[in-house]
Amino acid sequence: MSDKNEPNPVSIQRRQPTEAEVRRARAAQKLRENLQRRKQQARARRDGEADLTDGLPAAKPHQSDD
């Protein structure tokens, strides 16, 4: 019979991704976000606009009380 060779859609289950696959997917997403951010910065530089930062602001010079 041909029914044994055809997969049953009800019995097919998606397997859980392994930790390595999850890490790889998360790293790929971060790389895509970084690439998009860097492209936007490059476009802003070409247009003469200031860079927008998402992270911590740049350190300010230390002001002494001297």
Model confidence pLDDT, tens digit, residues 3-62 = 566 666 666 678 888 999 999 999 999 999 999 999 999 888 887 766 566 666 666 666
Range of the domain at 29: 18-46
Distance CA 40, CA 32 (A): 12
Count of the separate structural domains present in the chain = 1
Residue 7 falls inside a structural domain: no
Judge whether 52 and 44 are in contact, CB under 8 Å.
yes
Residue 6 falls inside a structural domain: no
Residue 42 falls inside a structural domain: yes
DSSP state of 12: -
Model confidence pLDDT, tens digit, residues 26-38 = 999 999 999 999 9
Residue 30 falls inside a structural domain: yes
pTM for the complete prediction? 0.47
Q: Identify the residue whose tokens are 């041909």.
A: 2
